[in-house]
Amino acid sequence: MTSVCFYFQVHQPFRIKPYSFEEIGHNHFYEYDEQNRNIMDKVSDKCYLRTNALMLELIKKHEGKFRISYSISGVCLEQFEMYKPEVIQSFKDLVATGCVEILSETYYHSLSFFYSKKEFERQVQKHADKVFSLFGVKPTVFRNTELMFSNEVASYISNMGYIGIICEGVDRLLQGRTPNFVYQTPNHEPIGLLLKNYSLSDDMAFRFSNRDWKDFPLTAPKFARWVHETAGNAETINLFMDYETFGEHQWPETGIFDFLEYLPSEILRHPDFDFKTPSEVIRAYPKREVYDVPYPTSWADSERDLSAWLENRMQQQALHSVYSLEEAVLKTGNEALLHTWGKLQTSDHFYYMSTKFWSDGDVHKYFSPFDSPYDAAIFYMNVLSDFKFTLGA
Amino acid sequence: MKSKLKVLTLGWEFPPLLTGGLGIACYGLAKALSKKVDLTVLVPQSYTGLPTENFQLIGLNHIPFTHKETIKERNLEEIQYRLEDFATVEKIDIELNPYPVYSPFTKTKISAEKNNVLLMEPVMELKASEAFALFQDKDIYGPNIMRKVAAYTEVVCRLAENIEFDIIHCHDWITFAAGIKLKEASGKPLVVHIHSLESDRVHPDARNDVYYLEQQGMQMADRVLPVSDFTRQNIIQYYGIPGDKITTVHNGIEPVEKFKNKKDKPGEKWVVFLGRVTRQKGPYMIFETALKLIKRMPEVKFYVAGLGDQLGHLKYLVEQNNIQDYFVFTGFISKAEVGELLSRADVYFMPSISEPFGLSALEAAQFDVPCVISKQSGVSELMPNALKADFWDTNKFSDLLYAVMNFEGIKETLVGLTRKDLEKINWEIAATTIFEKVYKDFF
């Protein structure tokens, strides 16, 4: 038996606004309110609501055979509540089917694991509380921000009691092996590792509408055939992607929704193939080999490491600065300040400061609410300066 | 064996006398081009100490004139160019230099050239010795400039009779009359290199002698080479020259020995401006930005290194607003002193209103000084890792300066990436562009 395991990331940060140094000391509201709301509106209509409706339809049509999972960040859940409560309801409807698993992550979609274990645990707990209060479920599988992973992460999460963890299947660490099995840590801890099959995942999420791709156009039968071809040498096909694939990254005109609509039935044509959620995969299949990840990996860029968030000096200074405030924030005992501090840890802030793809000619590649990584860094550091000021005051 | 192309270059300021980027650019380009073509450069003055590896430098003040002949007017009938009213110009109190700036308090006569054609009309008989005496003048850019231009033109054309060339390459308006004349006399193609424009120096709507000279030059030229896309756009927009004969050739830079020094007062933060203090360079923006920044950064000092017709006004504003403690006016400084200043600078500030290139920003970058510059500058096309704002946006400028001087990570990233960007900026690239995309087109 081989299982197709879908995991969709659902996340929106609280973007900060263009914040001038002149506001430091008297403007304590940092959020790009209007933008955040507009983006939430737009993406909800183009993606979340439309895709959720389709998923619900497919789940009902296949009577439990079509099973999927999501990880929704805490800051995203909050924005749904603020701006688009109907999205929360649609996720509730999905969870209620019993065919949809919710995963655990840090509430603020942060890099806290690498800076403060204490803060990391606080955020994981906060997320778990939120998930339970909204959906009534207790996740058993974890996924760290943007699939940031290492032996240390796996070990830690295992000790926290999770049965499984999602990560990227990195070629240089797989060393010729397939991601299509459940792996284990070098220390043989109880936790099971689910490795993204990036080839098949990215076919759907990135190459789908690329006319220069040799396999364009991608149809459901074609994709199902590729999946079926793994028979005999795969137990789990881990298709991990951003949920915005459906309607945002891939526009409806590309046919992505039609593809999705027919995919489950095409996959299920083969009697040895089914759908399982991450925890079901962990429970169904044994851990095979060891997947050794001594240095952190992620699902970002070609390097699949953490460089997208901390490669340059301004990112490093920003991260260091925000985490250096932990003690002062906790001392205030003020929930609002703690929450503001948490929101300033969201990985996107640092992602926007990346200079990896930055040169004036490549603006189109650059994906950020700001005109340049420098603007992103300047506004962030100004905000942090004001935040520091409020802590002192 | 195919012989090399022979190019006659008409420069003005040579070697670099620090009055602006023109001389530096001419020199750097000549050096690189001389590897590809046989180069003869005509200039008003030359210092014998200057290394001229590959090209023949003829300084007009060094030309031996063994016989005292008068430079008669040329036969005017067939000549199609006229430079208007030289004698009258002499009587008018206009401060003219290659960067002519019309100060509000100077009487200016704008003698607009209505015709499409400029005619060359040397209005007096100059004794050879007289003509050359003009070029002995230490101050190349003094009040006699139009007269010098006329004399220059005449002398150059005479000299060119004995020089073999395939192409004429002129740098900026001062040389255009000569270039046009040479083209007509020889039938060889004319290339005009645009380092600056009246539309930058004065105003986009300015229509005066220099403007029409510039326009003539560009119209008569076979190719026009601005030093930036920004200038290329200005040429199309303000001079009506068709884009298909305009090719941008970005300036290069000479490598320098960079060094860092500590300030005498380590707590201070220095914002450095280098250049002529004239409208084009945005001195009022310096003032306005300083006013905002000072409120948040009492430790900041604005170093203004340069002279110009707006210097007095800037000082006046600074004093009236009682912020003179935050300003240091160094006056004119030598190349060595520039290095000393840059070695201590925390940030380089160039808020130009309209800057065809802006070599000084690159010079600062070579000293690992982060740059905050105007978007209305040519050099911004080559500096993705400089911080930029529109010239009028002093709010943004003060934000950018504040960030560079207070957030180490941002400064380090800017400097580190700019170091890599600088590697792509050199005269070899400019020379190659000119040789492959311009000179070769003629043959």
With CB atoms and an 8 Å threshold, state whether A21 touches B408: no
pLDDT value of position B49 = 39
- Report residue B311 as tokens: 């210097």
- The reply to whether B415 touches chain A by the CB within 8 Å rule is no
Q: Which residue is listed with tokens 């209620």?
A: A96
> Mean per-residue pLDDT for B59-81?
32
Cα–Cα distance, A333 to A316 (Å, whole number) = 27
* Whether residue A163 is found in the same domain as residue A60: yes
**Would residue A364 count as lying in a domain?**
yes
Told to judge if A146 belongs to the known catalytic residues of this protein, a careful annotator would answer: yes
**Pairing state between β B70-71 and B126-127:** antiparallel
Share of chain B above pLDDT 70, in %: 72
- Residue of chain B nearest A314, judged by CA positions: B409
Question: Is residue B359 within 8 Å of B383, Cβ to Cβ?
Answer: no
Question: Is residue A316 within 8 Å of B409, Cβ to Cβ?
Answer: yes
* Residues of chain A positioned with their CB less than 8 A from the CB of B416: 312-313
Residue A23 CB contacts under 8 Å (≥ 6 apart), including other chains? A382, A386
> Mean per-residue pLDDT for B140-166?
71
Residue B89 pLDDT > 50, yes or no?
no
* Residues of chain A positioned with their CB less than 8 A from the CB of B414: 374
pLDDT value of position B30 = 82
* Whether residue A313 is found in the same domain as residue A286: no
**Would residue A199 count as lying in a domain?**
yes
**Would residue A40 count as lying in a domain?**
yes
- Structural domain ending residue among the three candidates A264, A290, A316: A290
Residue B127 pLDDT > 70, yes or no?
no
* Residues of chain B positioned with their CB less than 8 A from the CB of A382: 399, 403
With CB atoms and an 8 Å threshold, state whether A21 touches B403: yes
pLDDT value of position B148 = 64
Catalytic residue among A146, A266, A280, A311: A146
* Whether residue A264 is found in the same domain as residue A314: no
Question: Is residue B399 within 8 Å of A20, Cβ to Cβ?
Answer: yes
* Whether residue A313 is found in the same domain as residue A241: no
How many beta carbons lie within 10 A of that of residue B61, not counting itself?
Answer: 15
Q: How close is the nearest chain A Cα to the Cα of B123, in Å?
A: 52
End-to-end CA distance of chain B: 16
Stated as kind and residue range, the H or E segment containing A238 is strand A236-242
* Whether residue A99 is found in the same domain as residue A241: yes
* Whether residue A240 is found in the same domain as residue A353: no
With CB atoms and an 8 Å threshold, state whether B398 touches A21: yes
pLDDT value of position B124 = 33
**Would residue A302 count as lying in a domain?**
no
**Would residue A300 count as lying in a domain?**
no
- Report residue A348 as tokens: 């996107």
Distances (CA, A) of B63 to B54, B58, B414: 20, 7, 48
- Structural domain ending residue among the three candidates A290, A319, A342: A290
pLDDT value of position B86 = 16
- Residue of chain A nearest B293, judged by CA positions: A22
With CB atoms and an 8 Å threshold, state whether A312 touches B398: no
**Sequential DSSP letters for B315-359:** HHHHHHTT-GGGEEE--S--HHHHHHHHTT-SEEEE--SSBS--H
Task: Give the nearest partner residue to A360 out of B384, B398, B403, using CB atoms.
Answer: B384
With CB atoms and an 8 Å threshold, state whether A317 touches B395: no
Residue B77 pLDDT > 60, yes or no?
no
Tens-binned pLDDT, residue by residue, of chain A (393 aa): 999 999 999 999 999 999 999 999 999 999 999 999 999 999 999 999 999 999 999 999 999 999 999 999 999 999 999 999 999 999 999 999 999 999 999 999 999 999 999 999 999 999 999 999 999 999 999 999 999 999 999 999 999 999 999 999 999 999 999 999 999 999 999 999 999 999 999 999 999 999 999 999 999 999 999 999 999 999 999 999 999 999 999 999 999 999 999 999 999 999 999 999 999 999 999 999 999 999 999 999 889 999 999 999 999 999 999 999 999 999 999 999 999 999 999 999 999 999 988 875 455 455 789 989 999 999 999 999 999 999 986
- Structural domain ending residue among the three candidates A240, A264, A290: A290
pLDDT value of position B227 = 96
Of A238, A151, A142, which is closest to residue A188 (Cα–Cα)?
A151
* Whether residue A283 is found in the same domain as residue A334: no
Residue B101 pLDDT > 70, yes or no?
no
**Would residue A298 count as lying in a domain?**
no
Q: Which residue is listed with tokens 């891939």?
A: A250
Q: What domains sit in chain B, N to C, each tagged with a CATH number?
A: 6-252+432-437 (3.40.50.2000), 269-422 (3.40.50.2000)
Task: Give the nearest partner residue to A378 out of B408, B410, B417, using CB atoms.
Answer: B410
* Residues of chain B positioned with their CB less than 8 A from the CB of A360: 381, 384
* Whether residue A195 is found in the same domain as residue A342: no
Angle at A277 between CA A276 and CA A283, to 5 degrees: 80
The greatest distance separating any two alpha carbons of chain A, rounded to the nearest whole angstrom, comes to 66
- Three-state SS for A77? helix
- For chain A, the domain total comes to 2
- The reply to whether B424 touches chain A by the CB within 8 Å rule is no
Task: Give the ipTM of the model, two decimals please.
Answer: 0.91
**Would residue A101 count as lying in a domain?**
yes
Instruction: Give the burial string for A53-62 (b: 16+ CB within 10 Å, else e).
Output: ebbbebbeeb
With CB atoms and an 8 Å threshold, state whether B296 touches A22: yes
pLDDT value of position A246 = 96
- Residue of chain B nearest A381, judged by CA positions: B407
Q: E-strand spans in B138-268?
A: 167-171, 190-194, 223-226
Task: Give the nearest partner residue to B413 out of A20, A312, A360, using CB atoms.
Answer: A312
Residue B297 pLDDT > 90, yes or no?
yes
Compare B83 and A220 and report the one with higher pLDDT. Answer: A220
Residue B126 pLDDT > 90, yes or no?
no
Stated as kind and residue range, the H or E segment containing B42 is strand B38-43
pTM value?
0.86
Amino acid at A3: S
Of B180, B195, B169, B228, which is closest to residue B37 (Cα–Cα)?
B169
pLDDT value of position B161 = 80
* Whether residue A134 is found in the same domain as residue A38: yes
* Whether residue A113 is found in the same domain as residue A242: yes
- Three-state SS for A290? strand
Residue B1 pLDDT > 60, yes or no?
no
pLDDT value of position B84 = 23
Which residue range is the domain that position A386 belongs to? 307-392
Q: What confidence category does residue B145 fall into, taking pLDDT thresholds of 50, 70 and 90?
A: low
pLDDT value of position B26 = 80
With CB atoms and an 8 Å threshold, state whether A355 touches B413: yes
> Mean per-residue pLDDT for B349-372?
95
With CB atoms and an 8 Å threshold, state whether B407 touches A377: yes
**Would residue A189 count as lying in a domain?**
yes
Question: Is residue B166 within 8 Å of B7, Cβ to Cβ?
Answer: yes
With CB atoms and an 8 Å threshold, state whether A316 touches B408: no
Q: Find the CATH number of the domain harbouring A261.
A: 3.20.110.20
CB–CB contacts below 8 A, A to B = 67
- Three-state SS for A7? strand
- Residue of chain B nearest A376, judged by CA positions: B410
pLDDT value of position B20 = 56
Q: What confidence category does residue B44 fall into, taking pLDDT thresholds of 50, 70 and 90?
A: low
- The reply to whether B399 touches chain A by the CB within 8 Å rule is yes
- Residue of chain B nearest A318, judged by CA positions: B409
Give residues 196 to 255 of B whose Cβ lies within 8 Å of A: none
Compare A16 and B255 and report the one with higher pLDDT. Answer: A16
* Whether residue A318 is found in the same domain as residue A282: no
pLDDT value of position B219 = 96
With CB atoms and an 8 Å threshold, state whether A314 touches B413: yes
Question: Is residue B423 within 8 Å of B317, Cβ to Cβ?
Answer: no
Q: How close is the nearest chain A Cα to the Cα of B234, in Å?
A: 21
Of B180, B245, B174, which is closest to residue B217 (Cα–Cα)?
B180
Residue B308 CB contacts under 8 Å (≥ 6 apart), including other chains? B101, B276, B277, B278, B281, B283
Task: Give the nearest partner residue to A316 out of B403, B406, B409, using CB atoms.
Answer: B409
- Three-state SS for B113? coil
* Whether residue A137 is found in the same domain as residue A277: yes
Rounded to the nearest integer, the mean pLDDT of chain B is 78
pLDDT value of position B12 = 59
With CB atoms and an 8 Å threshold, state whether A21 touches B395: no
